[in-house]
Amino acid sequence: MKTFNSVDEYISSFPLDIQLRLNEIRGIIHKYAPESTEGISYGMPSYKGKKILFYFGGFKKHVSFFPTSTGITAFINELEGYNVSKGTVQFMLDREVPEELIRRMVQFRLQQDK
């Protein structure tokens, strides 16, 4: 696994189409969780409050948002049509990043962090 020193370095390691999607997710996080601390953890962008709130990552055919298992469980009914696992949801590159859904997941995780 490649080691990254910053989120900018991580994002720039991907092709332009994936960089655009990753920057969209990053922008949503900055907009709705401005006090969270941005860093790299487990080789991908991470955001912390009192504890880890969420991660995001890029892949060949999708980008993923990792709101942890509680973030997935709380929104499972709204995640129909997306590939979902215990702690992540995948957004395919041929579809728009769902800002409203990510916003609500970010706000949910922030509430859990209080």
What does the pLDDT look like over 37-67, one tens digit per residue? Answer: 999 999 999 999 999 999 999 999 999 999 9
Q: Provide the residue ranges of all domains of the chain, joining segments of one domain with +.
A: 7-112
Fold of 7-112: Aspartate Aminotransferase, domain 1 (3.90.1150)
Q: Is the dihedral of CA 31, 34, 82, 93 positive or negative?
A: positive
Distance, in Å, from the CA atom of 12 to the CA atom of 22, rounded to the nearest integer, reads 10
Distance, in Å, from the CA atom of 110 to the CA atom of 56, rounded to the nearest integer, reads 16
Contacts of 85 (CB under 8 A, 6+ apart): 72
Helix (H, G, I), strand (E, B) or coil at 50: coil
pLDDT digits (tens, 9 = 90+) for 83-101: 999 999 999 999 999 999 9
Whether 106 has a pLDDT exceeding 90, the answer reads yes
pLDDT of residue 1: 62
